[in-house]
Amino acid sequence: MRQPQVAAALLTFAAALALAAPVVRAARLLVLSAAFVVEFVSDGDVPALTTLTAAPLTETLDPATDRYRPGGLAGGAPLVLVHGLTPHGKDDPRLQRAARLLARTGFDVALPTIPGLTQGRLRPEDARPIIAALAARPEPARVVSVSVGAAPAFLAAADSAMSGRVRMLLALGAHASALDLIRYHLTGTDASAGLRGPPRHPELARALIEANAELADPALRAALATGDAARVDAAFATLPASTQALMAELSPAQTVRSVRAPIVLVHGRDDAAVPYSQSLRLAAARPAHTRVVLVGAIAHVEGAAAGLRAAGDFVRLLGVVYDLLVR
């Protein structure tokens, strides 16, 4: 074969590779996304992603933040994972498992401890560890929040200093209103979802009220402890203005309008901890560039007993993970 013919053949081969590369990459990301969904929803009983990928690399960035990176791969898509209510913070075993799965999927995960969520005393300043993690990323990052971790996650994403630093915000089992969530746990009532008692987790709500005793006097705490919907509503109506302002600031529906990034809200249809109506209300507060994904395969922030019996759930969750990767 003559030299010009060899050159032409090489150019043709290179062009074919260039055209095929995006298809190959997309196929690979789809496989990883599918494996993530299967392993996450099965709570690790089906180790689809673990079988396909190398163990992630872990390191401590500072005493309050850990990092999980893809093993055997260069780089990774920057992501900040925000935990929910747990006394263990970043050391919660379920959270660490989620961080490892995300790293296996191809994310470079920063996992900070949110102090208020370890003590049941969440305050607006608990957004600072998330802001610090975002600022330390070399490029805009995805933010994934779990349960009531949505409050500091939305506050961080809405911070003016973080404009352009958040590529996408995904909230799993998020609440829209802090007061409505407390009311739901005390009384079992959520008017927007048509739910009327019995109380869901009154002991948790009461523990949170006691942990924040300075926000309410003894008479108010006694009224809240009854679990009676009418008395709880009356008690909420007498909250000091400063407490009402604090509750509003810890309600993502109040801060979502200041978030510039696309938002995806994933919620279990049968979530007993946070009704899915909360995600619907949150989306209604900022409809543009906000998507709600309701599934039966997830209970609250873990796989449901029914698993992936509905093909539609699998497709919807696959789309969420794939979008998070390519966004």
Assigned CATH topology for domain 37-175+263-326: Rossmann fold (3.40.50)
> Cα 170 to the chain's mean position, in Å?
5
- What pLDDT sits at residue 74? 65
- What pLDDT sits at residue 6? 46
- What pLDDT sits at residue 10? 44
Tokens of 235: 């008690």
d(CA 267, CA 279): 7
Residue ranges, the chain, pLDDT below 50: 1, 3, 6, 10, 13-14, 17
d(CA 247, CA 254): 10
- What pLDDT sits at residue 153? 98
- What pLDDT sits at residue 4? 56
Which residue in 327, 234, 325, 275 sits closest to 33, CA to CA?
325
Contact by Cβ (8 Å): 107, 141: no
- How do the domains of the chain map onto residue ranges? 37-175+263-326, 178-245
Please name the amino acid found at residue 283: A
Contact by Cβ (8 Å): 220, 235: yes
SS3 content of the chain, % helix, strand, coil (to 5): 55, 15, 30
Q: What are phi and psi of 177, to 5 degrees?
A: -125, 125
Q: What are phi and psi of 56, to 5 degrees?
A: -70, 160
Which residue in 57, 126, 58, 59 sits closest to 89, CA to CA?
126
Give 168's contacts (C-beta < 8 A, 6+ positions apart): 142, 143, 261, 262, 263, 264, 323, 324, 327
At CA 321, angle to CA 319 and CA 323, rounded to 5? 65
Tokens of 249: 């600031």
d(CA 184, CA 190): 6
Give 286's contacts (C-beta < 8 A, 6+ positions apart): 256, 257, 259, 263
The model carries a pTM of 0.90
Q: What are phi and psi of 266, to 5 degrees?
A: -105, 130
Please write down the HEC assignment for all residues of 7-34: HHHHHHHHHHHHHHHHHHHHHHHHHHHH
- What pLDDT sits at residue 138? 87
Contact by Cβ (8 Å): 172, 156: no
Helix H or strand E segment including 200:
none
Contact by Cβ (8 Å): 292, 267: yes
- What pLDDT sits at residue 178? 93
